[in-house]
Amino acid sequence: MNNATYSSLLELAAGLVILCAFVTLWRRSLSAIVRALCVQGVALGLVALVLGLHRRDVVLITVGCLVIAAKGAVIPTLLRRVLANDSLNRETSPLVNVPASLVGAGALTFLAYGATRSVVALVPTSAGRLIPLGLATLLIGFFSMVIRRKAASQIVGLLLVDNGIALVAFLATAGVPLLVELGASLDVLLVVVVLRVLAVQLWSKFAVLDLDQLQELHD
């Protein structure tokens, strides 16, 4: 793989990651959001894969394959099971409407570019230039956790945050040690399982998956 192909492939994959993050804010249907998340996971794996191929790093290639398997297949499947419980499969009334949230996400992306200037200067490679995208994905994930009401949306937001962190890690370092990467991924998997249980409990108690109902627990 020559240098030009490498950098354009990398840009394509990383761009796909941030595009999917925007899609999760744009779409209201939860199944569409999960699909976007699935694509994002695959794109993230591709980033690792391209980096690994470029550096001829077997470990990084393995990590890329594992990421594609976990974030492209396992986690979306788990999420779809949560959604099967909810009859109204739409994010009907987010706290901030879609156009405004897209504007907010754009602003957060600007912030990410501004905040990572010094980091980018430290890593003067084609991979390093893409670091702001990782931070932007993280911020958008956080933002979507704030503005969405459904429990499933919260899980999606958390996964976006995790994907953003992973993207920064892939791009900024010459590959995180396999053990660390696996640990982080397992962590997220565990969180998804916990949230799924929480969602099921919420469903059986309140018959909705709306997190605002938890306010009832406030004393």
Partner 1 sequence: MNHVSIWMTALAGLMAAIVGGTLPVRSRVGAAVLLTWVSCSAALVAVVSVLHSGHAIAMSTTKILPFTGISLELTPLGAVFVLAIVVVALASTLYWLGYASHGLSTRCASSALPLFVTSMILVPFAASVATFLVLWELMALASLVLVLTDQSRREAARSAAQWYAVMTHAGAAAILLALILLSAHAGGQTFAQIEAHSHHLSGALRGTIFVLALLGFASKAGAVPLHVWLPKAHAEAPGPASALMSGAMVNLGIYGIILVGNVLLGGGPVWWWLLVSALGVLSALYGALYAATTSDLKRLLAYSTADNMGLVLIALGTAGMFAASGSHVTAAIAMVAALLLMFNHSLFKGALFLAAGAVQIATGTRDLDRLGGLLRRMPVTGVVFLIGALSVAALPPLNGFVGEWLLLQSLLHALPSANTAVVITVAVAVAALALTGGLTVAAFVKAMGIGFLGRPRSEEASKAHEVPATMQLGAGLLAISCLALGLVPMLILPALMRGARSARPVGPVAAVHGWISLHLFGFHGVLAPSLLAGGLVVALAATVLARRVSHRRSSPWPALTPAEPWGSGRRTQTARMQYTATSFAEPLQRVFDDVIRPARDLDVSPAAESHYYVERIAYQTSSDDVIERVIYQPLIAAVRRWGGLARKLQNGSVHRYLAFGLLALVIVLVVLA
Q: Is 153 in the site for partner 1 (CB under 8 A)?
A: no
Q: What's the closest the beta carbon of residue 171 comes to partner 1, in angstroms?
A: 18
CA dihedral of residues 79, 85, 91, 94 (deg, nearest 10)? -90
Distance between CA atoms of residues 64 and 79, nearest Å: 21
Q: Rule CB under 8 A: is residue 117 a binding residue for partner 1? A: yes
CB closer to partner 1 out of 8 and 93: 93
Short-list 92, 90, 66, CA closest to 188: 66
Q: Does 4 bind partner 1 (CB under 8 A)?
A: no
Q: Which of 115, 99, 199, 114 is nearest to 149 (CA)?
A: 199
114 lies in the site for partner 1, by CB under 8 A: yes
100 binds partner 1 (CB under 8 A): no
Question: With binding defined as CB under 8 A, does residue 163 bind partner 1?
Answer: no
Is residue 142 within the footprint of partner 1 (CB under 8 A)?
yes
Q: List strand residue ranges (DSSP E) for 12-131, in order.
A: none
In this complex, which beta carbon is closest to partner 1, that of residue 193 or of residue 214? 214
Q: Residue 56 class from Cβ within 10 Å (0-12 exposed, 13-18 middle, 19+ buried)? A: exposed
Interface segment toward partner 1; rule CB under 8 A; list 14-22, 46-54, 57-65, 107-115? 107-115
